Each structure stands twice: as structure tokens, then as C-alpha cells.
Structure 1
Amino acid sequence: MNSSWISFFELPAQPDPFRQRFPLLDSPWPITSIIVGYLLFVLKLGKIFMEHRKPYNIKKVIIAYNTFQVIYNGILFGFAIYYLIIRRTYDKRCMLHLPLYHPDKQTERLLSYAYFINKIIDLLDTVFFVLRKSYKQITTLHVYHHVLMTYFMYWVFRYYGFGGQYDMMGLLNTFVHSIMYSYYLISVIYPEFRGNLWWKKYITKMQLLQFVLLLLQACHVLIFNPTCKFPLFLQYLQVVQSTTMILMFSNFYYHAYLKPKPQKLQKQQ
């Protein structure tokens, strides 16, 4: 392997040694088991389990879950605003994780880990769909997004460390999720207003915008600050995944809000 390829895949020689002190981060097997179990349940076993059962009435559970998610994501977003925007912990031109001796290093670890745990909690979205037999909501986009965000974060922590450029993803994602789970909460408490919540499609637009911003962030660093020591492999991975999510969310937005519905076509004819 030539030197250019070695530099492309180059990662820190010693990732954060404190990683092993956090539950689920000391080995790849726990998170791998969670992801495999999730996929088996939502794609196969859950449907078999529910085949001869009526949809479960879990309204109270979902209300509690959505309330928790609004608060959890809101708190993480507040901390992210403080450390990234107000305190300016990182150089936005090249966001590297903090050195081990930095006074904010433990805060960086805790916030990153709290975000990772929230991605695992997010998997319950799909479990609830199965228990309610709402299978049409278990789309390729939905499952891919959940698996990617959860499994991807583990491997970043393992081979790169906590914090750095991907903290911007946490900032944007927690903001979008705060709004998204607020919509879910209102629509569950007041189902009669579900069709009148005009901001539903704007949540999808916000999701699209976050990936556009992440794509622009990575491209800006690659083009205008090529000496940045954030690993090239992770830079290009951010470009590829942001582009993939833009395409998938754009396709969802088109079919959900722009493509004429069959009934409308029949009326027009």
C-alpha cells in the first residue's frame, strides 16, 4: 500500500484510553448484538410475533418516550450550543478532538457518549412501529438511518475518539430531533390535529438541511483547509454519507409531499 493510501486511512495512533471505561464501548460485541437484534426484530421476528395479535395500545408509553426525547435532545443541543458556539471550544476551520490534558476533555467525552446512548434509544422508534403494526413506516430510509447513526458512532469512538468535527453533526441532529419529537408528541396527544400540523413537511426539510450543511462542512475543510489533521477517511465518509442521506430524504420528500396522489389524479381525470 503506497503512502497516499496510508495517509488516507491514517487514524490516531492511540484513541482515547478512557473509552473503555464507558459501558458498551469497551468491545464491539455489545453494540453489534444490539444492531443485529434490532434488525432481526423489526425486519422479521417482530412481524412473526405480531402476526396473530392485535396492535398494542402503547399510547402512554409513546407519550413518555417522546417527552423524554424532547428533553434529552434539548439538553444536548443546549450544551452543544454552549461549547461550540458560545465558548468556541473548537477551531471551526479544523475541528479536532481535544487533547487528553485539555480541561474540557471529560465534558467532551460525556457529551459524545450521551449522544451515542441517545442513538441507541432512537431504535425504539421502530420497535413501537412493529408493536403497533405500523409497518409502512419501517422504510429503508428509516432503518438505514437508525443503524448507520448508532453503529457508525461506536467505530468513530473506537478508532478516532470523542468529539471533533462530528460534534457539528450532534449539534444539528439534536436540534432537528427536538423539533421532530415535539411533533410526534403533539400528534399522539392530539391525534385529531395530526393532519393539520403544517410543520410536518418542514421537519423533513430541516433533516435535509442538516445533511447539506454537513456536506458543505466536509467539502469546505477538504478544499480550503487541506492541512487539517482530521482523518481524510472520516472527511470523505462524511461526504459520502451526507450525500446518500440527501438523496434518500429528497426521494422521501418527493413521494410524501410533491408526487400527486392516486386519488387526486383520478379526480383530475
Structure 2
Amino acid sequence: MFAHILEFLGRSPPDPVRLPLTGSHWPVLIVLTTYLVFIKILGPMFMQSRKPYDLNGVIKAYNIIQIAYNMILLVFAVYFMVGPGDYSFKCISNLPLDHEYKNWERWLSYSYFFNKFMDLLETVFFVLRKKDRQITFLHVFHHVYMVYFGFLYLYYYGYGGHAFFLITFNVVVHVLMYTYYYQSSVNQNLRNDLWWKKYITIVQLIQFGIILSHSIYILRQDDCHTSRLSATWGSIISVIFIILFGNFYLRAYIIPQKKKTSRRVH
């Protein structure tokens, strides 16, 4: 097994075009290591004797940028898949290297990957605002996983293809999520009163359900030449995230609601 892992890690990228941060493991690992050291060690030490920073203006701007970025990416991604990319959703493969729209596939895939680095700033804001309770295992695991798995896919399987179809659902979730964050930053009193807040988690769970279903569908087709590792790992990580986000939804919404109902009865 160890030999297979070394063989996998030693593979050359199938696409010779290497965009920034996709040329080797090291840049991505350095960024993620710096991120983890800051949010777990250096950041809390720096903030220990300081008051929380007022970053409301910065966060508003950040949320607006994220909403616009993900909306534009979503429009171009859907247009590309059903238009010039001509994806067959029964079996999605990366476009050939000489395809006339290959650069579309490269830059759209890369735009999503780069956005995962932008997402890391969210945790930095938590640290600087002393919102340590929001830096949960789910939060950190999700951010680190999305960056590194995104890199692994681009490096070992190229741009686009099956994973590009799957991440489009995540872009939809991000539009909803950052819209909620923006509304919360505009009026802090609305943070816990926005009626659709819990539906963001429901949409996330639906997203993972779709990814799991489509990945299993791909794996059941012996004649489909798409990335089977992408479909396999998509299935596994979807189950993990369904458990993690399901647990979050249970603790954040179901259990508190039951406690309120119980108090009213008694």
C-alpha cells in the first residue's frame, strides 16, 4: 500500500499548464500550516491581552466580494457546462488538452480553487474578533479539506471534469451563506432572528446528498472513464460531511427547540 501511495504522489500532472499554487504540494501546505498555526497558537496568543478588533466594515466588504465572486463563478460555470463545455452529466470527463474551450475549464476550476484560499480569511476574522467558539472542528476541517483536496484534484487529475460539476453546488451554498453573513454584519440584532438561517445548513445537507448520489451513479457505470477516485472520494467525504453537518443541525436547531417546547409544557 505504501508503494502505491508513493507512486500516486510521484505522478506527473496530466495537464502541463500549472496555474499559481498548483505547481507542487509545498505552497499549499505552507499556506495551510501557517493558517493552522495562526488560528490555533499565534492568533490567540496575540489577542490574549487585547480587546476584540472592530472589523465590521472589513467584514461587510469581504462578504460583498464573496457574494459577487461566487455569483459570477456560478453563472459562468453553468453556462460553460451546458454550453461550450457540452458536459454529459451521465459521465463527466475533463475536456481534452487540445479542446478549444480547455482554457475556460482551467480558469473556472482555478477560480473556485482560489476562492477556497479566500475562505480562510473568515477564520482569521474570528480570531481577531475573539469569536473562538465559532472556530469549531467542523469549521477548520472543512476549510483545510476544501483547499488541499482541491489542489490534489487539479494536480493529479487536471482542471474540470467530474469534480467541477460537483463544486458548482458548493458555489450555490456560498452565495446563500455569505448573503446571510452580510445581513448579519449590517444588523447585529438580526443574527439570530433571520428566519432562513437554518435553511443554509439544510441546503448544505442537500448538496452533499446530491454529490453522494451522483458519485455512486458514476461508480456504477463500468464504461464511464471519468476520475473514479473523484467519485469514490466524493462519496466518502459526502458521508462524513452529512454526519458532521447533521450533528451541527441537530445541536443548533433540533435540541434547543425541543428544550423550549419542554419548558412551555412544564
* Global fold match (TM > 0.5): yes
What corresponds to 1:222 in structure 2? 219
Match runs of 1:1-269 below 5 Å: 15-19=14-18, 22-87=19-84, 89-223=86-220, 225-260=221-256, 264=260
- The alpha carbon displacement at 1:267 in A equals 6.3
- The alpha carbon displacement at 1:262 in A equals 9.8
* 1:155-196 deviations in Å (ceiling 9; x for gaps): 111111000001122211111101110110011011222222
CA–CA distance in structure 2, aligned partners of residues 87 and 109 of structure 1: 13
- The alpha carbon displacement at 1:86 in A equals 4.8
Answer whether contact 1:63 1:185 (CA < 8 A) is retained.
yes
- The alpha carbon displacement at 1:268 in A equals 5.4
CA–CA distance in structure 2, aligned partners of residues 261 and 235 of structure 1: 37
Alignment root-mean-square deviation, CA: 2.2
* SS state at 2:17 partner: helix
* SS state at 1:63 partner: helix
* 1:13-45 deviations in Å (ceiling 9; x for gaps): 7510012xx111112111110000111111222
- The alpha carbon displacement at 1:152 in A equals 0.6
CA–CA distance in structure 2, aligned partners of residues 136 and 209 of structure 1: 26
Higher RCO structure (Cα 8 Å, ≥6 apart): 1
- The alpha carbon displacement at 1:56 in A equals 0.4
Unaligned 5+ residue runs, structure 2? none
- The alpha carbon displacement at 1:96 in A equals 0.6
CA–CA distance in structure 2, aligned partners of residues 88 and 107 of structure 1: 8
* 1:74-122 deviations in Å (ceiling 9; x for gaps): 0000011111235562111111100011111000000011111100000
CA–CA distance in structure 1, aligned partners of residues 100 and 138 of structure 2: 39
Unaligned 5+ residue runs, structure 1? none
CA–CA distance in structure 2, aligned partners of residues 245 and 146 of structure 1: 12
* 1:239-266 deviations in Å (ceiling 9; x for gaps): 1001100110000000000013797466
